Amino acid sequence: MARQVNQQNQWWIFTAVVLLSFMSTLTSSIVNIALPVMSRAMAVPTAQVTWVASSYLIVTCMFLLPFGKLGDMLGKARVFKIGTVIFTIASLFCGINLGFVWILIMRGIQALGASMTLSTNAGIITETFSKEQRGLALGSFGSVVALGSIAGPGLGGLILTYLPWNYIFWVNVPVGIAAIILGQIVLPKAEATTAGKIDAWGMLVLIFMAGSLFMGLILGQQVGFMSLIFLSLMIATIILLIIFIYLEKRAADPVMNFHLFSNIDFSLSLLRRF
C-alpha cells in the first residue's frame, strides 16, 4: 500500500525533496559573492568573514553520515522534515544582522538542517521510485542539486544589485516554507529501515574527526600547511580515525560498516568519485 501511495505522488515527493536540496547547495555558493558586502556591513575583516561560508561547509560535512544513519533508524522522511524546518528558520535568522558571532551560530544551525536533508534526500527518492524509474529520478535529482551550486554566484549577484545582503539568506525562506508544506502533505510516514541501538560514541568521534579534518584543511590554506595549528589538527584527525575504527569494529550496529569495503565494486565506485 505504501508503495502504491508513493507511486501516485512520487513526482510531488521528488519536488518536495529537490526544493530543499537545491536550496541547501545554493546557499553554500551564493554566500561567497556577498562576503565583501557583509564584511563592510559588520565591520569585520575579509579574512574573518570568510568563516560565514566555511562554517556552513564544515558543519554540513561533520553531520552528513551521522544523520544518514539516524535516517535509517528513525525514518528518512522524519529526519528530512525536521531538517527542513531547522534550515528554514535558521535562514530567516541568518539575515538578521546581530553581529558576526550571531551569523556564525545561525550558519552552523542552518548547516545542521541542511545536513539532515542532504543525508536523506537520495534515500527517500530511491525508496519512492520503482526500479524502472529510479535512474531517471536520481539523474534528475543530481542535475538539479548541481544546478544549485552553479546558480549561486549569478543569483547572488542579482540579489545584491537590487537588495541588501540579508536577502541572500532570506531567499531560502519562501522555498523552505513551500517544501515544509508540500512535505507534510506528500512525504510518506516515517518508517525505520534498520533496527538497533544508536552508536552514540561512534557518531561523536566521527563528528569530531570530520570537524578537525575540514577545519585543518581550511586553516591550512590561510596560515600555511606547515603551521602548528594545521599539523595539530591533522594529528588529532589521525588519532580520532584510529579510535573510530576501533569503536566501529566492536559496535553491534556501527555508524560505518567497514565490511562494505570488502566489496570490490563498492570500493571502486567510491574511488571513481575522486
149 in the same domain as 90: yes
> Cα angle vertex 114, ends 118, 166, to 5°?
140
Separation CA 164–CA 168 (nearest Å): 8
166 in the same domain as 61: yes
Question: Which letter, b or e, does each residue of 237-267 get, where b requires 16 or more Cβ atoms within 10 Å of its Cβ?
Answer: beebeebbeebbeebeebbbeeeeeeeeeee
118 in the same domain as 28: yes
137 in the same domain as 62: yes
2 pLDDT band (50/70/90 cuts)? Answer: very low
- The arithmetic mean of pLDDT across residues 100-110, rounded, is 92
pLDDT at 240: 93
Q: Is the pLDDT of residue 274 over 60?
A: no
| Final residue before a domain boundary, out of 171, 195, 219 | 195
List pLDDT tens digits, range 196-213. Answer: 677 788 889 889 999 999
Q: Is the pLDDT of residue 4 over 50?
A: no
pLDDT at 85: 93
191 pLDDT band (50/70/90 cuts)? Answer: low
Q: Is the pLDDT of residue 53 over 60?
A: yes
pLDDT at 232: 93
190 in the same domain as 232: no
219 in the same domain as 136: no
CATH number at residue 26: 1.20.1250.20
| Final residue before a domain boundary, out of 195, 219, 250 | 195
Contact yes or no for 142/130 (Cβ under 8 A): no
165 in the same domain as 46: yes
pLDDT at 106: 94
Contact yes or no for 176/27 (Cβ under 8 A): no
pLDDT at 272: 53
Contact yes or no for 67/122 (Cβ under 8 A): no
Separation CA 195–CA 64 (nearest Å): 20
| Number of domains making up the chain | 2
Q: Read off the C-alpha cell for 76.
A: 528518512
| Final residue before a domain boundary, out of 136, 171, 195 | 195
Whole-number mean pLDDT of the chain? 83
238 pLDDT band (50/70/90 cuts)? Answer: very high
175 in the same domain as 131: yes
186 in the same domain as 274: no
Q: Which domain holds residue 57?
A: 2-195
204 in the same domain as 176: no
pLDDT at 89: 94
- The arithmetic mean of pLDDT across residues 241-267, rounded, is 74
pLDDT at 192: 57
List pLDDT tens digits, range 117-159. Answer: 988 888 888 888 888 888 888 888 888 888 887 888 888 888 8
167 in the same domain as 210: no
80 in the same domain as 125: yes
